[in-house]
Amino acid sequence: MAVILHVDLDAFFASCEKRRNSDLEESPVVVCVYSGRGKDSGAVSAADYQARDYGIHAGMPISEARELAEEAGEDIAFLGADKDYYSQVSEEVMDAVQEEVKDIEAASIDEAYGLVEEGYDEARGTAERIKDNVEEMELTSSVGIGPNKLIAKMASDRNKPDGLTVVEPDEVEEFLEGMDVEELHGIGPKTGEELDDMGIETVEELREARRQELVEKFGEKKGLSLHQKARGEGSKNLEKQEQEQLSRLTTLEENTRDLEDINPVLEQLSKEVMDRVEERGWRYSTVTVLFVTTDLDTRTRSTTFKTASGSRQRFQNTAEELAEQFLKEDPKVVVRRFGVRASGFDKSGQKSLGEF
């Protein structure tokens, strides 16, 4: 039985800031997009759960958020958004998700759907491994498991933060029971108001509404969608992105900068990446090594070849050279997590003359 899981990183932007600055660990954090007209001009991009307790939320004007902070008498950290850093961390997380599920759909920088074909027990185990991997990155995630994308997405929201919620097919109606219509994923305030005008406030009332009545009010496409949502029906199809890279990352047993400690790990990770490359019948042209340092900074080093290859030995040797080069460049750096990546794929299946 195919099962959908939805991985949602908790308060992602704020959590990224806490991850790289331990001084913020106990502080409420608000991430802002400044307009350039002063420290109070712009909007809140994200707020962690502590800041949300004071009424601060995404989309709020920064000036209003600062007023709430002053009223609370709380020392809340207001930080500018660092999208490049968040993208780096997101990439690291998506790699970890891809290690556990073959097919994924990255829904946003901090959300992904995954397909598990072996049923609910396997999906739960997969979700627990993903959560453990994310925790190793000093982040938390909430995962929802359900028969389709709609229920999986809503399940991941049910027990935030750091939750795991499983909704099997015969539990869908109970899961939706008592919800207001605006709690259904994809129904916004405007649609909620229009449904309210029809005397529909709860999911149960929407489920009991005549389909034709909804079609007449909202049009065929939206009307049918509302009818299906109220029954917990949703898509199982993932919008799979073409994989442009294959990676493996792991947390080292001990922080180190010693190649004798890193190289055995590098050898194993290289083997696992090349297993996946060969399984797809591809050849790579770019080799990358990834380092997460003890200050949780993510750094990479890469080499790109003129012709693609399927050579395992070249991949491993190149990765070893890049790792050695990186450690020589910075004699003070200490590595916490390490990974390797293959990219720049030739997917034609044709070997080069050198490989023959």
If pLDDT is split at 50, 70 and 90, which confidence band does 350 have? low
Percent of the chain clearing pLDDT 70 (strictly above): 96
pLDDT of amino acid 347: 86
Is residue 221 within 8 A of residue 308, CB to CB? The reply is no
Q: Which of 83, 107, 132 is the last residue of a domain?
A: 83
**Helices 120-136 and 83-100, packing angle to 10 deg:** 140
Alpha-carbon gap, residue 289 to 335, rounded angstroms: 12
- The verdict on residue 306 lying in a domain is yes
Do both 265 and 331 map to the same domain?
A: yes
Residues 251 and 226 in one domain: no
Q: Per-residue pLDDT averaged across 244-265, rounded?
A: 89
Reply yes or no on whether the pLDDT at 241 is more than 80: no
- Same structural domain, 201 and 256: no
Task: Please list the alpha-helical segments (H only) found in 31-119.
Answer: 49-52, 62-72, 83-100
Q: In total, how many domains does the chain have?
A: 3
Judged against a pLDDT cut of 80, whether residue 81 lies above it is answered with yes
**Residue 264 carries which side chain, given as an amino acid letter?**
P
Q: What is the CA radius of gyration of the chain?
A: 24
Q: What is the pLDDT of residues 290-331, one digit of tens each?
A: 998 888 778 899 999 999 999 999 999 999 999 999 999 988
Question: Among 106, 166, 143, which Cα is nearest to 8's?
Answer: 143
* Residue 56: pLDDT over 90: yes
Where in the sequence numbering do the catalytic residues fall? 111
- Residue whose structure tokens are 């996946």: 276
State whether 49 and 74 are in the same domain: yes
Last residue of a domain, one of 43, 62, 83: 83
Residue 196 lies in a domain: yes
Asked whether residue 105 is domain-assigned, the answer is: no
Determine the 3-state secondary structure of 338 from DSSP: strand
Over residues 29-57, mean pLDDT: 89
Amino acid 353: pLDDT:
47
Q: What is the pLDDT of residue 155?
A: 97
- Give me the domain span that covers residue 68: 14-83
- What was the pLDDT predicted at 222? 93
Judged against a pLDDT cut of 60, whether residue 354 lies above it is answered with no
Asked whether residue 134 is domain-assigned, the answer is no
